[in-house]
């Protein structure tokens, strides 16, 4: 699959703190940051009980594209669904600016990476084009045909 085909692929991207660190993620904070962007944003918090824990389902508009995602405080992480590498890079920019504390690293994986048992990878502190390239390299490593 060539780079232009990889760039069009959509999958779930999952972002988590690097092992041993925390973002101090809280649904109230995430909700407030999303509503600052768009007061009409879709947000739903579900409590599934002691076994599965709670989760937050939300909508976010990035570069004019409406996307959805999930967040969990335990284990801590946030995802963006049906995203391209470009929209995932835009989401990382928003996370770094509004959610992830300065100096705290994050990792990522994708639905396909998880299916292929790929380890989470560090989200590099690079320019947007280089971040997109890192996401595309990850997609290629999943063995997509």
Sign of torsion, CA 122 62 55 13? negative
Residue 86 pLDDT exceeds 70 = yes
What is residue 6's predicted lDDT score, i.e. its pLDDT? 83
Q: Please state the domain count of the chain.
A: 1
The residue-averaged pLDDT of 58-79 equals 94
Q: Per residue in 11-52, pLDDT tens?
A: 999 999 999 999 999 999 999 999 998 898 899 988 765 556
Q: For the chain, how big is the Rg over CA atoms in Å?
A: 15
As a 3-state breakdown, the chain gives helix, strand, coil percent values, each rounded to 5, of: 35, 30, 35
Residue 63 pLDDT class (50, 70, 90 cuts)? confident
What is residue 2's predicted lDDT score, i.e. its pLDDT? 75
What is residue 50's predicted lDDT score, i.e. its pLDDT? 52
What is residue 22's predicted lDDT score, i.e. its pLDDT? 95
What is residue 106's predicted lDDT score, i.e. its pLDDT? 97
What is residue 89's predicted lDDT score, i.e. its pLDDT? 97
Q: What are phi and psi of 143, to 5 degrees?
A: 85, 25
Instruction: Report d(CA 90, CA 67) in Å as an integer.
Output: 11
Q: Quote the pTM value.
A: 0.92
Q: Per residue in 104-129, pLDDT tens?
A: 999 999 999 999 999 999 999 999 99
Domain limits at 110? 3-141
């Amino acid at each position: 699959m060539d780079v232009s085909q990889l760039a069009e692929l959509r999958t779930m991207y999952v972002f988590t703190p690097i092992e041993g660190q925390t973002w101090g993620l809280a649904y109230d904070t995430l909700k407030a940051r999303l509503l600052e962007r768009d007061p009409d944003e879709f947000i739903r918090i579900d409590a599934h009980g002691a076994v599965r824990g709670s989760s937050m389902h939300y909508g976010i508009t990035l570069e004019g594209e409406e996307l959805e995602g999930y967040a969990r405080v335990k284990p801590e992480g946030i995802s963006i669904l049906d995203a391209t590498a470009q929209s995932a890079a835009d989401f990382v920019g928003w996370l770094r600016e509004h959610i992830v504390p300065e100096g705290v690293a994050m990792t990522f994986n994708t639905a396909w990476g998880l299916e292929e048992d790929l380890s989470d990878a560090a989200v590099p502190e690079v320019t947007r084009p280089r971040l997109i390239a890192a996401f595309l390299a990850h997609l290629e490593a999943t063995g997509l045909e």
